[in-house]
A and B are shown apart, each in its own frame.
Chain A
Amino acid sequence: METKQKKRRKAQVDRDLCVGCGCCEKVCPLQAVRVVYGIWAQVDAGKCVGCGRCVKECPASVIVLEEAAV
């Protein structure tokens, strides 16, 4: 039987342009994003519900919501 794969929108960070300021970390209601190694922000796709708060907050606008298979 074929299972239908659900697709949800999740936050995705452009690592190359991320400045690692952590503004996203601060607004995420689920602590699904954090700055790793002091370099870039990383989203935990398992936790992210795609609310888009980090997208709105990011001063460099390097976070987007993109469809990802869950």
Chain B
Amino acid sequence: MKKHWYDYLWIVSLTYLILGFVNILFAWLGLLCFFIPLIISIVNGSKGYCSRYCGRGQLFALAGGRFGLSRKKDIPRWMKSKAFRYGFLIFFFAMFFQMLWNTYLVFAGVQDLRQVVTLLWTFRLPWRWAYHGTAVPAGAVQFAFGFYSVMLTSTVLGLITMLLFKPRSWCVYCPMGTMTQLICRVRNASKQKKG
């Protein structure tokens, strides 16, 4: 099959993860992975982002497929249930807003900048090497640490399910995927009934 430029976006995803170890401020670029799929689903009413442009999905497909790191077993039934997918989306949202609240506290000067990356919402990893002091406000730096935590956590979860189940099993419970599917459901509600 013919390769397109967007088939190489896994390189961008990998670079993003590496850059987070170099300078945490690059974490801000991750917002693209949030806004592009949202815009595509709102404007186009499609989930075109997932199959074409999602570099993270490509990364899992590559590691699990070509590099053979995946067991390629079926994902458990409960993991593809609506209850789990929507539940995970709500949990993810809650954690995201908590991160935004912490960012706000640093912005407001109530809390000091914490140079940590929180993995799996629990483990606080010291991440001092990636911040070199800049003219950027402390709140913006805190957001970078928080956002990188979100990105790293989802990558680790995705890697675990990639190893255990099929390569792209992260796609089953990916909060962005669930959210864009929900948007498409609402947007295309009338067409759905006809189809």
Task: Report which A residues bind B (CB closer than 8 A).
Answer: 17, 19-23, 25-26, 29, 35-39, 56-62
Contact = CB atoms under 8 A, between A and B. Distances in A.
A58 B41 CA distance: 21
22 contacts: A17-B81, A19-B80, A19-B171, A19-B177, A20-B184, A21-B171, A21-B172, A21-B177, A22-B48, A22-B51, A23-B57, A23-B61, A23-B168, A23-B171, A26-B51, A37-B184, A38-B184, A39-B47, A59-B167, A59-B171, A60-B75, A60-B171
A37 B195 contact: yes
A37 B45 contact: yes
Given A26-B51, A59-B75, A39 B172 contact: no
Nearest to A17: B80
Interface in B145-195: 165-172, 174, 177-178, 180-181, 183-185, 187-188, 191-192, 195
Contact of B85 (A19, A26, A36, A58): A19
Given A36-B195, A39-B184, A59 B47 contact: no
Interface string B58-88: 0001000000000010110000110001000
Main secondary structure of the interface of A (DSSP, over half): loop
Interface of B: 1, 41, 44-48, 50-52, 57, 61, 72, 74-75, 80-81, 85, 165-172, 174, 177-178, 180-181, 183-185, 187-188, 191-192, 195
A60 B191 contact: no
A59 B169 contact: yes
Nearest to A56: B72
Residue among B50, B165, B192 with max Cβ neighbours from chain A (10 Å):
B50
Contacts of B75: 59-61
